[in-house]
Homo-oligomer: A and B are copies of this chain.
């Protein structure tokens, strides 16, 4: 340790550990008692550090939640990148739904605080705004997928359908975190998927028949754009 080889790697890696530890503890406390009720002193104590140290790494309490929201955003984007492959438009609907839903369920299951952020339960205005931005992004991603699945669909309907799908999954997350009964979770998951399947089949059916019967008036019936 007396070599002057690397500048401050030990410091950095230790710092990162500290940050992660704080984030993990905070996430646990937030989900247990809510954001407001989770005091910074309690977070520090449970993380095994002093309150002063906590404030060396985070400017204020909100910054902790912001960091968690950022991590959530990152992981969610990674999931989407994984899902959004070339063949996404050619998958049977039930398979597509599983592909779209299951990884996200795992995400929220593995880190329940993400559900809090998503559902906007008991968060500051800043976080709520950030969360809404993330959701907007999700809607656009889903709309893109809709366009791949049904190229004949118009952009407006694709967005609308995306909003509905996102909402349904949000409901599913909410329902799943409202109960500890694993059986109920399985049933409700299957049921929401059934609902989405029925809805999507109906939407696709209607846009397809619109296409077949020739566009009723003029042009620009089929969405393009993008």
Contact = CB atoms under 8 A, between A and B. Distances in A.
Interface string A181-208: 0010011101110111011011100000
Interface stretch (A39-47, A99-107, A162-170): A162-170
B164 A191 contact: yes
Number of copies: 2
Interface of A: 36, 120-122, 132, 160-161, 163-164, 167-168, 170-171, 174-175, 178, 183, 186-188, 190-192, 194-196, 198-199, 201-203, 222-223, 225-226
Contacts of A171: 167-168, 170-171
B190 A199 contact: no
Contacts of A160: 187-188, 191
Contacts of A187: 160
Contacts of A167: 171, 174-175, 192
Contacts of A186: 225
Contacts of A199: 194-195, 198-199
B183 A226 contact: yes
A190 B223 CA distance: 8
**For A187, A196, A202, which residue has the most chain B Cβ atoms within 10 angstroms?**
A187
Nearest to A120: B121
B226 A195 contact: no
A201 B197 CA distance: 12
A36 B174 CA distance: 22
Contacts of A36: 36
A100 B218 CA distance: 29
Given A167-B171, A168-B171, A171-B170, A222 B194 contact: yes
B168 A195 contact: yes
**For A160, A188, A199, which residue has the most chain B Cβ atoms within 10 angstroms?**
A199
13 contacts: A163-B191, A164-B191, A167-B192, A168-B168, A170-B174, A171-B171, A190-B222, A190-B223, A191-B222, A195-B196, A198-B199, A198-B201, A199-B199
A145 to B, nearest CB: 17
A20 B195 CA distance: 42
B163 A175 contact: yes
